[in-house]
Each structure stands twice: as structure tokens, then as C-alpha cells.
């Protein structure tokens, strides 16, 4: 579901490359943790995979159709993200001016699906993330753990092939972090999606299927 080959990236005017000729793959239904020290380029790699930063060389094939996001223009990258990728962020990024249900419906709208037909799925997902009855709530009234559960539901609602998660538990207290992580892994497996989870936490990494460690010399 994600295949990275020969990926190289250098920041403008930088002496050293961020990474050079990276290659790895995440199989369908596989959950992979990406760990590494601060500044090693985990976020840049994630941005490249999401098409938010251009890669210098290489290919990133995403989804069941294995489209190479490196070769797409901006609009097509956005369309590919909308169709094939679900995102979970450290800072939750739940839109404060939309209700919980509306927030979850956003990916459906962006991939051109009518949310009305998916009302049941949104309700079901909310129940599955432990937020039954939260549909009409406004985000400012939710706790951090609840917000991240909303984000997980949003990441899965349009059945993406790939979930990208960036420190999904970084802003949560340990107990909530545990609950949310369990929920995330459970739901990803349930939806048969692939996932790449960037994390500092050994605890998080060990609960994934496989661990990739990014070092200045490449992947290990």
C-alpha cells in the first residue's frame, strides 16, 4: 500500500541531504512505526510521503493503484491525499467551528462522497472510537483524548489505503495515550488499512507490526 524507492531529499542551500536513496514498503494491513532522533528527518519523510514537500529523486507509490505522488502536480497530490490517505496529528487539528460529525465528514466531502449516505458509518465509527452521542458536540468542549478519537474517526471514515500518524499520542497523558493508541491500532486493523506511525515513544513503536529507524545514514 506504500512503496518508497530511492527517495532522496535535500533542503535548499543545505550541505547534507536529509536522506538519500531511502527504500521501504508498508504492505496492505501492515502497521509500521517510524522512529528516530529529533531532526533526523522523520517529519520531512512524512511530508514527502503526503506530498506536502517535494522529494528530489525517487518514487513514492501510494494506495491500491500504486500512484507515484512524487510525479503528480499539486492538485493531483491533493486529490490523492483525499482519496487514499488518512491523517492523525499530534495537535489533533480538529476544526473548532464544525461539529464533531461535520469534522468526521470532511474527508468524505473532499473525496466527493455525499456524507448523507455515510451517516450510518459516521455514527458507527463514533461508537467504535467511544464517542457515541458526540455527533453534534462542538470541539472546544472536548478533552484532548476525545479530540484525538475524533481525529482517528476522521482518518478512517473514507476507508483510505494508508494512515499517516505523526506522534498521535504526543499531546496526551500516559493513560489516555494508551487508550487512544490501542483504539488507533484496533481500528486500523479492523479497516484493513496500512499505517505509518511516526513516534518517539518506544512503547508506541513496540505495539506496531514492524519498526523502521531513521538515522542520518538511512533506514535500519
Partner 1 sequence: MTRLAWWLIRAQFMTRRTATALSMLAIALGVALGYAIHLINTAALADFSQAMKSVQGEPDAVLAAKDSAGRVPLALINEIARDPAVAIVAPVIETRVRVDHAAIHSGAPVKLIGLDIFSAAAVMPKLLPRQDSGGAGMFEDGVHASPALLARLQLKVGAGVTLTRGAARWRTRIVGDLPAARPDDLLLVADIAWVQARFGPPDAVSEGRLRLMPGTRLASWLETWTARLPAGLTLRAAADDTQRVSNISRAYRVNLNVLALVALLTGAFLVFATQLTAVAQRSTQFALLGVLGLSPRMRLLQVLFEGLAIGVPGAALGLALGYGLALAFTRVMGGDLGGGFFSGSTPVIAARLLPSLSFFALGCAASLAGALYPAWLNRVQPLAQALKTGFAQRPPAVHGLYARPRRSVLIASALLPLAALGLTRLPALDGLPLAGYGAIALVLVLGIAVAPLLTQIVFGAVARRALSAPQRVAVQNIVQAPLMAQVAASGLIVSFALTVSMVTMVSSFRLAVDQWLDAVLPAPLYVRSKGMPLPQELLAALERGAAPFARIERSAHGALSLDPQRPAVVLLVREMRRADAAARLPFTGPVVAVATDRVPVWISEPMQELYRLAPGQTLRLPLLGREVDTVIGGVWRDYSRQFGAVVIASDDYIALGGQFEVSDLALWPRRGEEAAAKAWLAAHAAGYGLDIAESSEIRALSLSIFDKSFAVTYALEAAAMLIGLFGLAVTLAASVWLRARELATLSALGFDRAMLTRAVMFEGALIAGIGLGLGLACGIAIGAILTHVVNPQAFHWRMELTVPWLQVLLGAALTLAAGIAASRFAARLATRLPAAQVLASAQ
Does position 102 interact with partner 1 (CB under 8 A)? The reply is: yes
Q: Is 93 in the site for partner 1 (CB under 8 A)?
A: yes
Tell me which residues in 114-153 interact with partner 1 (CB under 8 A).
115
Considering the rule CB under 8 A, would residue 59 count as an interface residue with partner 1?
Answer: no
Told to check if 40 binds partner 1 by CB under 8 A, we report: no
User: Which member of 23, 27, 109, 182 binds partner 1 (CB under 8 A)?
Assistant: 109
SS3 175: helix
Q: Interior CA angle at 31 toward 182 and 19, to 5°? A: 125
Whole-number CA gyration radius for the chain? 17
- Helical segments of 55-199, H only: 74-84, 100-110, 119-128, 144-156, 174-190
Q: Which of 40, 106, 124, 219 binds partner 1 (CB under 8 A)?
A: 106
- Please work out the total of residues on this chain that contact partner 1, with binding judged by CB under 8 A: 29
CA 120 to chain centre: 23
Under the criterion CB under 8 A, does residue 56 sit at the interface with partner 1?
A: no
Q: Interface with partner 1 includes 177 (CB under 8 A)?
A: no
Nearer to partner 1, 94 or 212 (CB): 94
Stretch that binds partner 1, among 27-35, 87-95, 198-206, 212-220 (CB under 8 A): 87-95
For 197, phi then psi, to 5°, come to -115, 115
- How far apart CA 59 and CA 55 sit, in angstroms, is 8
> Does the protein bind partner 1 through residue 81 (CB under 8 A)?
yes
What residues are paired with 196 via a beta bridge? 32, 164
Residue from 31, 65, 75 nearest 163 by CA? 31
Binder among 10, 24, 40, 52 for partner 1 (CB under 8 A): 52
Q: Which of 26, 62, 83, 126 binds partner 1 (CB under 8 A)?
A: 83
Nearest distance, CB of residue 220 and partner 1, angstroms = 25
> What DSSP string runs through 49-93?
HHTSS--SEEEEEETTTTEEGGGS-HHHHHHHHHHHEEEE-TT--
Question: Which residues, 6 or more positions from 122, have their beta carbon under 8 angstroms from its beta carbon?
Answer: 101, 104, 105, 115, 135, 153, 157
Position among 91, 127, 132, 182 found at the interface with partner 1 (CB under 8 A): 91
Positions in the binding site for partner 1 (CB under 8 A): 43, 47, 50, 52-53, 74-75, 78-83, 85, 87, 89, 91, 93, 95, 97-98, 102, 106-107, 109-112, 115
Amino acid at each position: 500500500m506504500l512503496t518508497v524507492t530511492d527517495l532522496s531529499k535535500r533542503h535548499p542551500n543545505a550541505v547534507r541531504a536529509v536522506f538519500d536513496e531511502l527504500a521501504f514498503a508498508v504492505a496492505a494491513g501492515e502497521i509500521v512505526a517510524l522512529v528516530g532522533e529529533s531532526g533526523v528527518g522523520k517529519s520531512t519523510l512524512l511530508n514527502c510521503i503526503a506530498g506536502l514537500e517535494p522529494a528530489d529523486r525517487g518514487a513514492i507509490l501510494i494506495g491500491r493503484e500504486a500512484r507515484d505522488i512524487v510525479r503528480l502536480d499539486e492538485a493531483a497530490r491533493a486529490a490523492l491525499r483525499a482519496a487514499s490517505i488518512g491523517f492523525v496529528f499530534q495537535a489533533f487539528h480538529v476544526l473548532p467551528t464544525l461539529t464533531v460529525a461535520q469534522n468526521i465528514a470532511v474527508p468524505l466531502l473532499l473525496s466527493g462522497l455525499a456524507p448523507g449516505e455515510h451517516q450510518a458509518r459516521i455514527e458507527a465509527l463514533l461508537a467504535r472510537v467511544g464517542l457515541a452521542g458526540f455527533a453534534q458536540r462542538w470541539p472546544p468542549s472536548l478533552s484532548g483524548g476525545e479530540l484525538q478519537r475524533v481525529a482517528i474517526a476522521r482518518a478512517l471514515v473514507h476507508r483510505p489505503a494508508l494512515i499517516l500518524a505523526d506522534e498521535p499520542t504526543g499531546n496526551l497523558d500516559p493513560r489516555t495515550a494508551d487508550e487512544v493508541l490501542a483504539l488507533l491500532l484496533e481500528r486500523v486493523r479492523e479497516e484493513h488499512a496500512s499505517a505509518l506511525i511516526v513516534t518517539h515513544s518506544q512503547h508506541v513503536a513496540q505495539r506496531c507490526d514492524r519498526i523502521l529507524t531513521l538515522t542520518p545514514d538511512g533506514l535500519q
